[in-house]
Amino acid sequence: MTHIWVRAEQRDNETRVGVTPGGVAELMAAGLSVTVEHSATRVIPDEEYAKTGCRMAPSGSWTRAPADAVIFGLKELPDDGTPLPHRHIMFGHAFKGQPAGLCLLERFRAGGGMLLDLEYLTDDNGARVAAFGYWAGYAGAAVALKCWAAQQKGHLPGPVGAYQSSTHLLSELQADLLATGTHRPDALIIGALGRVGRGAADLCTAMGVACTRWDVAETAGGGPFPEVLAHDLFFNCILARPGTPVFVPASALTPPRRLSVIGDIACDPDSDFSPIKVYDRATTWREPALRVCEDPVLDVTAIDNLPSILPLESSEDFAAQLLPVLQTLGTPGADIWSRAEKTFHDHLARL
């Protein structure tokens, strides 16, 4: 019997979960065994999971889980260097040469475990089967607009936090923008046809922000792209890969330039493939914007767990996408999981 162990997230400001209580019930009905760790911060309370009849376990006890258990979480494991003997389903950020990712792969090699990276669960056409992208785009555009509103008052934005719902977020953001007057910025979105871009565009539309929407066709020439610098806001909504063109070169720090806020929603600053060359580190909930130029002002916001700003809506959406795939976890030869295993072994072999 396949055993899925849902671990409690240990990262600050991470309250999402990859499977709902309803999903746990469906997994058990399909013949899988499910253990859910207690969590004081998870957006869905422990008691809702306990009602399904699944086994509940102490927070952080996944390290002592049975050897055949598949450990399922979303964000990073504690960076303590310990070997990892289990199979793990999570966002590992380990397959594009990131320094922290290489350390993670070394831990799997040392322990004999395996990373089944959620970012690399794909169908036969290479499309991701589950993603938080829409809500990343939605929340990322909201944070960028908060940065722009703060600029109009001559300062950087204050800390951001989680919202009970998108309605609550929109209400607060509307008040922020109204406090700046009647003028609204315009925005250029690259990756507008994808999940992330659609989320960013929907947020902008709700706030009365005019959007120029680009995708593969508009960027096929490889740049440079002066149009990026001619908008107030720029949203990067694509997953950087080898061959991705540079959208914002280092030379963008010098005038002339209208661009005043970059929302790097894809947020991969330490990758060699990053298409934004004016910053080198992610921003945080406490300090959501990084000022990279004073004259004219240019701020970058690049938070790497944006969907956690809307934890319930994003969790329910992602869990619904992923559930059919989790149900095949114990099926011999399931293509999605076989591809994920091959991806892991290919990258492990390159260490």
Please pick, among 86, 88, 93, 231, the residue that the annotation labels catalytic.
Answer: 93
Containing 78, the helix (H) or strand (E) segment is none
**Angle formed at CA 331 by CA 326 and CA 333, multiple of 5 degrees:** 115
Q: Are strands 290-294 and 297-301 parallel, antiparallel or unpaired?
A: antiparallel
Query: 265 with 304: CB under 8 angstroms?
Result: no
- The number of angstroms, rounded, from the C-alpha of 216 to the middle of its chain's C-alpha atoms is 21
Containing 234, the helix (H) or strand (E) segment is strand 233-236
93 is catalytic: yes
Which are the contacts of 182, defined by CB distance < 8 A and separation ≥ 6?
none
**Minimal CA–CA distance to 59: which of 104, 14, 24?**
14
Query: 300 with 272: CB under 8 angstroms?
Result: no
| pLDDT tens readout for residues 277-300 | 999 999 999 999 999 999 999 999
Q: What is the band of 242 on the pLDDT scale with cuts at 50, 70, 90?
A: confident
Beta bridge partners of 70: 4, 87
Measure the CA–CA gap between 127 and 108, rounded to whole angstroms. 26
Phi, psi dihedrals of residue 5, rounded to the nearest 5°: -110, 105
Containing 111, the helix (H) or strand (E) segment is helix 99-111
Side-chain half-sphere exposure of 37, counting CA atoms within 13 A: 23
Q: What is the band of 98 on the pLDDT scale with cuts at 50, 70, 90?
A: confident
Q: Which value, to the nearest 10 degrees, does the dihedral of the CA atoms of residues 90, 94, 98, 102 take?
A: 120
Say yes or no to pLDDT of 17 above 90. yes
- Give the model's pLDDT for residue 272: 84
The token pair that represents 133 in the structure block: 């992208």
The token pair that represents 162 in the structure block: 């989680």
- Give the model's pLDDT for residue 258: 97
Q: Domains of the chain by range and CATH? A: 3-120+310-349 (3.40.50.720), 133-309 (3.40.50.720)
Tokens 């960076």 sit on residue: 79
Q: Which of 40-49, 91-100, 231-240, 328-337 has the lowest mean pLDDT?
A: 91-100
- Give the model's pLDDT for residue 332: 87
153 is catalytic: no
Please pick, among 3, 75, 86, 146, the residue that the annotation labels catalytic.
Answer: 75
Q: What is the band of 335 on the pLDDT scale with cuts at 50, 70, 90?
A: very high
Per-residue DSSP letter, 242: T
Query: 305 with 134: CB under 8 angstroms?
Result: no
Beta bridge partners of 36: 6, 56
- Give the model's pLDDT for residue 54: 98
| pLDDT tens readout for residues 121-168 | 999 999 999 999 999 999 999 999 999 999 999 999 999 999 999 999
Say yes or no to pLDDT of 8 above 90. yes
- Give the model's pLDDT for residue 284: 97
- What strands, in cross-sheet order, belong to the sheet with 70-72? 55-57, 33-37, 3-6, 70-72, 87-90, 114-117
The token pair that represents 127 in the structure block: 């499309």
The pTM for the full model equals 0.92
